């Protein structure tokens, strides 16, 4: 059975009928006409980009917190009044 892409209450390919199977989940769509529409392609692109952004954020959050903590420890261990670099506001001297 062919599953159509449903967006805003309408089928993307323009088919009509109350007994047609439809889904708003992109992976379940089997209709080639629906998959060829600009609406489907834009939704697919947005979903893919959102997944990539989420992966980058989770990876970047771990990396950024590690080097900052190590840098603060290194500066704290140094003798004397060492200045912190820009971006470490609220604490002019260690």
What are the Cα distances from residue 74, in Å, to 24, 25, 32, 64, 70? Answer: 52, 50, 59, 16, 6
Rounded to two decimals, the pTM is: 0.56
The two tokens of residue 56 are 């980058």
18-70: pLDDT as tens digits: 788 888 888 888 888 888 989 999 999 999 999 999 988 887 666 656 777 78
Report for 10-14, 45-49, 87-91: range of highest mean pLDDT: 45-49
Residue for token digits 């979903």?
47
Of 78 and 48, the structure prediction assigns the larger pLDDT to: 48
Q: For position 84, what pLDDT does the model report?
A: 61
């Amino acid at each position: 059975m062919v599953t159509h892409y449903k967006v805003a209450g309408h089928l993307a390919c323009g088919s009509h009928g109350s007994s047609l199977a439809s889904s708003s989940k992109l992976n379940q769509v089997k209709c080639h006409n629906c998959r060829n529409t600009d609406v489907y392609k834009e939704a697919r692109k947005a979903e893919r980009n959102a997944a990539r952004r989420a992966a980058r954020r989770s990876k970047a959050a771990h990396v950024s917190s590690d080097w900052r903590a190590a840098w603060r420890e290194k500066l704290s261990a140094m003798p004397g009044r060492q200045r912190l670099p820009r971006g470490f506001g609220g604490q002019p001297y260690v």
